[in-house]
Structure 1
Amino acid sequence: MSSQRRRKPRAPKRRIEGTYAIDTGHAAIVADPLRDGGYVLEVNNVPSSYVVPGAPEVLEYDYMRWIAAFMESAELPRPFTAVHLGAAGCSLPSYVAHRWDSHNIAVELDAGLAALVRDAFDPPVEIAVAEARAFTHALAPGSVDVIVRDVFAGPDTPRALATVEFFHAAHRALTPGGVFVANVGDRPGLANARAQLAGLAEVFAHTAAAAPTGILGGREYGNVVLAASDAPLAFSGEVPWKPGADLSGATPALRD
């Protein structure tokens, strides 16, 4: 990993709205008509990030606040190092860098998207162009304090980033007591979340999930945030959370 001093984020001095070609298709930067200086980054027509350049403390998406709540509650060193698998507009990495004066590496597969985000938003974090699984396996043992996985292929996490073997690679890269946090999109029944929690429980001593009651109860589609660590987990967020590896049903863990 290369080191890079964090820069103070700047507000854009030119018009950045528009549609841009990227390696995996196209991205659009859409100005928020209700908030001066706010932008939605859409990747292949899917809203992926909400960014207010120059205001990294803004986290518009609920699930990002839940991820931050697990990090807030963890006994992490100050400063700490966080790797974010899935960069998009770098809104969460920028928040973490601002909130905890931490070193953040955002990993993005699409080089064109990474270049667009650097140019349009100038996030105060390092962006590495790499495939998330390969990047995680290449991390030195005990070299990072937090790993955030927020990678999607359509509505789901790529299978290669949801297996027991991948979780072992993440565990190996974390410092003792480090935290792995993942965003999962799931449907009624929570098959994805339950399978991934089962896999995480094979690797980490403690696991937890946070989401609105309707989603945790398996009645609605939405985001579930999973956390895992060898240290006890806590949560300072505003939605229900459940410690433990079970979400009302046994699902076999995914394996390579």
Structure 2
Amino acid sequence: MTRIPLWLLVVSQGVISAASLVVEIVAGRMLAPHVGMSLYTWTAVIAVVLAGFSAGHWWGGRLAEKPPAKALGWTGGALLAAAMTTAGAVLILPALAEPVLRLVAQPVWGITALTALVFFLPSFFAGVPAPVLAQIAVTTADRSGPALGAMFASGAIGAIAGTLLAGFVFISWLGSAATLVVVTIVYVASGALFLWLGRSRGRGAALASAVAALGLAGLALAAPDPCDRESRYFCLRVEDVSADPARPVNLMVIDHLAHGISARDLPLVQFTEHTAMLDALSMQRSARADFTSFHIGGGNYAVPRAFAARGTGPITVAEIDPAVTELAAEAFWFDPDTATVLHEDGRRALLTRPDQRYDIIIGDAFTDVVVPVHLVTQEFFRLAADRLAPGGSFLINVIDHEDRLRALASIVATMRTVFPVVEVWTQQVQPLPGQRMVFVVVGGDSRTEVDAFTVPAPDQTRFGALGDAFVDQLVEARGLVLTDDYAPIDRLMGRQD
């Protein structure tokens, strides 16, 4: 075998490492339409990918003991296998998601099992080349130490480059499927290079594998896209749920959850429990009609749209994803000229505007089914209280389960350390055992003047405040004070049980 230049080994290791990290980032994005984008999604992805790399490195170390030409031939075959399993991930994930998640009902294990079935093999095969290439570099270079250091550095730099390219370029410009097709092509090219360098005899099988990988890549590109729009943050989809095509009603789906419904001809009517409560309670608690409001999370912009239709005072919305705002304007009849839209995190938006005061601050941001951790802590509630005008109110949308209510209790307990009055509102109906329930928690200086109200949601729905004695008992039994240092909101929701 002809001596391979060190630069070629270094570049190859960097390219393969970059491609493998692109797959890791894309894995989280692809899983989101099925399981959401949560701490547990990323934990499962990182664990599965690292397990695959580790197993691949072990096997690659075994291959590295073989003569260089033979080791390169095996490595080329491994990369062709990586190409096939990477392209195949686009096709098998939708097929496996529903049966796996139904079979493994516990969320953490369901996410982990699905991730392992789809993304372990691509990571395993991508982990094979590193020890083989390092062994060749060390044994053929004039100085083994610098050669080994160069190989390690190349792998790390490639991993950094792949992470940045996936997060900042590929996903938002190409989408998940096309990004994995690019990785597939990189793996095929790299595999072909190593087979050629190793003068492998199995050229027919290698050619068939390459054709199969590229064929799977083509099928991946032709597969139905679960997203109408794939942004840097979310998989976004619009569904028409109207009964009359002449009077359109659209549903916004972000990742795997419905985030709001709007009707073109009914800007003042809310179609979900949480927006109905947020809208009505804001009206109830405002001292004047032209109140100012700050909204954390835009979604389909149903509440800001209703405020604008009523002619309230200045409306500010902090929505981290510009694509969500664009979709709300295109498909949910939100007029961006009626509000000041800040495309940044809501807590940061409040923090960097110390001179602004609002009559109403609404928290309606979610990561999967939980409020983002940094938006439920004592430190955040203090910030929100500081940005309220005298007599202002803070409202937050909370989801919890009827048989737990630990997340709700902890948010109430935390808000009570900041606000003199804290109320919990929900629909006045007997919940089913274990039912997922929607609440709005209100913090302020005074109580709401009514303890119940009826508004369209879209049918006439009655909402009421939970009794103080019940809330006190709930907080005492299940409430934790959440801080920036300790806010286990996912566990409190029961996602680890």
- 2: CA distance, partners of 1:22 / 1:99: 31
Aligned partner of 1:9 in structure 2 is: none
Residues 25, 63 of structure 1: CA spacing in aligned structure 2 closer, same or farther, 3 A cutoff? closer
Aligned partner of 1:210 among 415, 425, 445: 425
* Corresponding residue for residue 221 of structure 1: 436
**Do residues 197 (structure 1) and 412 (structure 2) align?**
yes
Q: What's 1:113 paired with?
A: 324
Alignment RMSD (CA, Å): 2.3
1:255 aligns with 2:483: yes
Q: Secondary structure at the match of 1:248?
A: helix
User: What amino acid does structure 1 have at the position aligned with 2:466?
Assistant: K
The answer on whether the counterparts of 1:215 and 1:224 sit within 8 Å (CA) in structure 2 is no
Q: Return closer, same or farther for 1:98/1:165 CA change in 2, 3 Å cut-off.
A: same
Larger mean Cα displacement after TM superposition, 67-76 or 143-152: 67-76
Identity percentage of aligned residues = 18
For residue 466 of structure 2, the aligned residue among 242, 249, 252 is 242
Residue of 378, 387, 394 corresponding to 1:164? 378
Deviations 1:151-188 (A, max 9, x none): 11111111110001000000000001101001001122
Q: Distance in 2 between matches of 1:171 and 1:30?
A: 37
Corresponding position of 2:236: 27
The one-letter code of the counterpart of 2:390 is P
Alignment: residue pair count: 239
Q: What are the ranges of 5 or more consecutive residues in structure 2 without an aligned counterpart?
A: 1-226, 454-461, 485-497
State how far apart, in whole Å, the 1-side matches of 2:430 and 2:295 are.
24
Aligned-partner Cα distance in 2 for 1:83–1:247 = 32
SS of the aligned residue for 1:72 comes to: helix
More strand by share: 1
Counterpart of 1:12 in structure 2 is none
CA deviation vs aligned residue, 1:27-79 (integer Å, no higher than 9, x gap): 11111241421111111132111122353112111221112232222142331
- Is 1:174 the counterpart of 2:174? The answer is no
Alignment of 1:1-256 (within 5 A): 19-35=228-244, 36-120=247-331, 121-123=333-335, 124-141=338-355, 143-187=357-401, 188-213=403-428, 220-235=435-450, 236-237=452-453, 238-242=462-466, 244=468, 246=472, 248-250=474-476, 251-256=479-484
Q: Relative to total residues, which structure has the larger helix share, 1 or 2?
A: 2
In structure 2, distance between residues paired with 1:219 and 1:146: 32
1:193 to 1:115, Cα distance in 2 relative to 1, 3 A: same
Counterpart for residue 10 of structure 1: none
In 2, distance between residues paired with 1:247 and 1:68?
Answer: 28
For normalisation by structure 2, the TM-score amounts to 0.45
Q: Is the 8 A contact 1:204 1:229 kept in 2?
A: yes
Q: Tell me how far apart the structure 2 counterparts of residues 153 and 95 of structure 1 sit (CA, whole Å).
A: 24
**Structure 1 position 214, deviation (Å):** 6.1
Q: What is the letter of the counterpart of residue 361 of structure 2?
A: I
Take 2:353 and 2:382, find their aligned partners in 1: how far apart are those partners?
A: 12
Structure 1 residues 26 and 167: CA distance shift in structure 2, 3 A:
same
d(CA) in 2 for partners of 1:75 and 1:50? 25
Helix, strand or coil at the partner of 2:317: strand
In 2, the alpha carbon distance for the partners of 1:249 and 1:217 equals: 21
User: Which has more radius of gyration?
Assistant: 2
Deviation at 1:247, TM superposition (A): 5.3
Counterpart contact for 1:86–1:149, Cα < 8 Å: yes
- Give the AA of the match of 1:231: S
Give, in whole Å, the separation in 2 of the partners of 1:126 and 1:142.
13
**Structure 2 vs 1, CA of residues 78 and 54 (structure 1 numbering), >3 Å: closer, same or farther?**
same
Higher RCO (CA < 8 A, seq sep 6+):
1
Could you say what secondary structure the match of 2:396 adopts?
strand
CA contact (8 A) 1:215 1:221 kept: no
Is this contact kept in 2: 1:23–1:111, CA < 8 A?
no
1:94 Cα deviation (Å)? 0.8
TM-score, normalised via structure 1 length: 0.84
Distance 1:196 1:54 in 2: 36
Q: For residues 280 and 425 of structure 2, what CA distance do their matches in structure 1 show?
A: 10
How far apart in 1 are the matches of 2:299 and 2:415? 25
The answer on whether the counterparts of 1:178 and 1:229 sit within 8 Å (CA) in structure 2 is yes
